[in-house]
Amino acid sequence: MSDVQNIVMGAGPDGLPVSQALRLGNRHGLVAGATGTGKTVTLQRLAEAFSDAGVAVFAADIKGDLCGLGAPGEPQGKIAERIAGMPWLNHTPKAYPVTLWDILGKSGHPLRTTLSEMGPLLLGSLLELTDSQQAALYASFKVADREGLLLLDIKDLKALLNHLRDNPQLLGEDSSLVTTGSSQALQRRLAVLEQQGAEALFGEPALQLEDILQPASDGRGRIHLLDASRLVHEAPKVYATFLLWLLAELFEQLPERGDADKPILALFFDEAHLLFADTPKALQDRLEQVVRLIRSKGVGVYFVTQSPGDLPDQILAQLGLRIQHGLRAFTAREQKSLRAVADGFRPNPDIDTLAVLTQLGIGEALVGTLQEKGTPAMVQQVLVAPPQSRIGPLIDAERASLIARSPLSGRYDKLVDRESAYEMLIARKVAAPETEDVPAKSAKEQEGFGDMAGEFLGGVAGQAMKSAVRQAANQLGRQLVRGLLGSLLGGGKKRR
């Protein structure tokens, strides 16, 4: 690992490097531009810079070609010419330490979390619930907390909903929230989620954040790539919800670091507009809050999208590094958006920012960095430096080799279905004593029955009871408000 102190984006008009101090890498950033203008290559270049500095990277591979980071580059043609024009670049073709992930578990390590970890707020957003349905979900989670029922996967939640239907007294004062209609609606939403293949997201072993932060053997930061090529088109809500969950988990688990010489993790959220599309306002407010606060935990968040207008103004205001590739403006609305983009940079008297935006070629960008004190520098027109890894995807054999050689090989690949709400509720039902049409017992009979019950409790019921106590102990401290930004909402979340 080299002694990297700056994130170098490319060359300015004078041929000199345009860079930003690595210690400001937690001030977040934006990579924007129309399709085909070079955003993916820029993202690849940034990921390499962080990795070389020993910073872990997590990024979504939307088009499937970002995985080229796992193979050395073969510069030729215009790429080779651009490298030759940057003698200070010290370009050396090389592969980077890449770990591949896939929620479906087909093109990378399976990537999972649990319903308990996600919590009712994020799960409700994923299911696109109405207010009444969301209230029913919160009430169901509340019962799960009280009863010590661990919710790991979708079948656990289904079992809980059926249990509450048959035992409405468990809801207590919340009985009015879980009606037959709301329960049926939740079941239907869960069925739709399963049809989209989203059940693969929930279960164990769940992703452990320390596995993302662990550096490679040579000291470089590992680059974790989520294969989202199908997910973002077939189940965009699942994709967005996972990224929101990851951001929230990082915020809750990582300690405060204050000012440091470099961040510990850089997150790249491609198709960033999906994070905010149809997102409930309460959730969006928490997201804006965590983006503002998570930089103190040493995490830099980089949004990748076509236009800055895809992001809320409150988010845009928190983004330090801005890399804007070419935009096209054919309608009055697009021209208005173009002016807003130009106004988002600190003016440079040598550049007509508005005019340049529509004239940028492939691999060119307007770049606004942060100066040493964290204030915006004047915008510059930059030729983005080519990455040292391959521009383009890996072939299937190369992907398979990366997965087989991964330090996480075998750790997440096999699904583990431990005892949780589904199994516990079945055990309770089996162990429930029959009370209907049973004649009254004499004192002696009752004494004998007590002895028999004691023996029985040593069997199935005893095991179920012990399991319930164990699960309740494991759940001690886990309250209703969990999942996304539990600490910000005033609740806490006990880790597994």
pLDDT in tens, 379-408: 999 999 999 999 999 999 999 999 999 999
> Residue 318: is its pLDDT beyond 50?
yes
Angle at 74 between CA 70 and CA 78, to 5 degrees: 125
Q: Determine the length of the chain.
A: 496
Number of compact structural domains in the chain: 2
With beta carbons less than 8 A apart as the criterion, state whether 17 and 384 touch. no
381 and 268: one domain? yes
**CB neighbour burial string for 162-190, b if at least 16 within 10 angstroms, e if fewer:** ebbeeeeebbeebeebbeeebbebbeebb
User: Helix (H, G, I), strand (E, B), or coil: what is residue 382?
Assistant: strand
Q: Output the pTM of the full model.
A: 0.85
127 and 101: one domain? no
Domain that holds residue 147: 115-201+416-474
With beta carbons less than 8 A apart as the criterion, state whether 412 and 111 touch. yes
Rg (CA), the chain: 26
Q: What is the DSSP letter of 201?
A: G
Written as six digits, the tokens of 391 are: 């521009």
35 and 184: one domain? no
Angle at 188 between CA 472 and CA 422, to 5 degrees: 25
- Tell me, what's the pLDDT at 300? 96
Domain presence at residue 487: no
281, containing H or E segment: helix 281-293
CA 215 to CA 450: how far, in whole Å? 59
Written as six digits, the tokens of 390 are: 């391959």
- Tell me, what's the pLDDT at 453? 41
59 and 119: one domain? no
381, containing H or E segment: strand 380-384
82 and 70: one domain? yes
What are the CA-CA distances from residue 254 to residues 288, 293, 371, 491, 493 (Å)? Answer: 18, 12, 27, 17, 13
% of the chain residues with pLDDT over 90 = 65
Domain presence at residue 462: yes
Residue carrying the six token digits 């820029």: 42
| pLDDT-derived band at 442, boundaries 50, 70, 90 | very low
CA 11 to CA 382: how far, in whole Å? 5
213 and 298: one domain? yes
pLDDT single digits (tens) 221-256:
999 999 998 888 888 888 988 999 999 999 999 999
Neighbours of 444 (CB within 10 A): 8
Tell me the CATH number at 46.
3.40.50.300
Written as six digits, the tokens of 88 are: 């200070």
- Tell me, what's the pLDDT at 334? 80
Domain presence at residue 50: yes
Residue carrying the six token digits 């619930």: 129
| pLDDT-derived band at 434, boundaries 50, 70, 90 | low
79 and 25: one domain? yes
| pLDDT-derived band at 323, boundaries 50, 70, 90 | very high
CA 210 to CA 76: how far, in whole Å? 38
216 and 241: one domain? yes
Written as six digits, the tokens of 225 are: 């790539």
